[in-house]
């Protein structure tokens, strides 16, 4: 590792799943045919991948496994890349949640670092999980070209970590990641073990 090593990770959000207007979290809603088509279009031309990694939730894993089989690639599922666990809120329709937990939801979205879903994962726990997942990914697949299939919340949290954004609520509402959104992280690890990540948007998704 005298000269350092570069690892490239294309990070893809799942497409449209079932469970419209629900807080999906860990609830394992299936991917729809529309969602699969969105994901297929999002990775069109991306044919130099060496390793696929995904959340085990089927809205991610269905496409990841299909893609891996198509290109004869290894596919690793990891619970570390699952969406945030919203506990008792998980899988519930948004309207039902607002009727039952309106004030708590208001407090949570106003400052999720200071409020936790009933029985769920705190944002600090989630942040630590994603930071650990990223470190493990780089260690396990150093120097490879990776397709990571995961969730919007995960992708936002990883942005926060890599860009060293402060712990505040603003970025959650200010980052829009539509279904099948994709961004790339090119991570250079220098000879001293220092990480130098750079975020890039594919040309077809630039604004």
Angle among Cα 200, 158, 109 to the nearest 5 degrees reads: 120
Burial class (CB in 10 A: 0-12, 13-18, 19+), 172: middle
Distance CA 72, CA 51 (A): 10
Which positions ≥6 away from 49 have C-beta within 8 Å? 10, 67, 71, 73, 145, 146, 147
- Kindly tell me if the per-residue pLDDT of 194 is higher than 70: yes
**Is pTM beyond 0.85 here?**
yes
Residue 57: count of CB within 10 angstroms of its CB = 26
Position 175 scores a pLDDT of: 85
Torsion sign, CA atoms 21, 176, 48, 139: negative
Distance CA 133, CA 203 (A): 27
Q: For residue 69, what pLDDT band results from cuts at 50, 70 and 90?
A: very high
Q: What is the pLDDT of residues 124-172, one digit of tens each?
A: 999 999 999 999 999 999 999 999 999 999 999 999 999 999 887 566 6
């Amino acid at each position: 590792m005298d000269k350092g090593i570069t690892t490239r990770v294309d990070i893809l959000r799942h497409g449209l799943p079932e469970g419209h207007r629900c807080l999906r979290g860990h609830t394992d809603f299936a991917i729809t045919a529309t969602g699969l088509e969105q994901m297929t279009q999002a990775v069109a031309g991306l044919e130099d991948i060496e390793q696929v990694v995904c959340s085990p939730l089927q809205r991610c894993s269905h496409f990841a496994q299909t893609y891996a089989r198509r290109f004869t690639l290894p596919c690793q599922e990891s619970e570390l890349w699952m969406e945030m666990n919203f506990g008792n809120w998980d899988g519930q329709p948004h309207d039902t949640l607002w009727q039952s937990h309106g004030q708590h939801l208001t407090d949570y979205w106003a400052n999720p670092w200071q409020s936790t879903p009933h029985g769920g994962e705190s944002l600090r726990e989630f942040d630590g999980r994603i930071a650990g997942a990223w470190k493990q990914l780089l260690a396990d697949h150093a120097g490879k070209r990776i397709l990571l299939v995961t969730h919007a919340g995960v992708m936002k949290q990883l942005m926060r970590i890599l860009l060293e954004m402060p712990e505040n609520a603003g970025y959650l509402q200010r980052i829009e990641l539509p279904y099948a959104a994709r961004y790339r992280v090119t991570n250079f690890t220098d000879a001293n073990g220092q990480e130098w990540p750079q975020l890039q948007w594919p040309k077809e998704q630039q604004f």
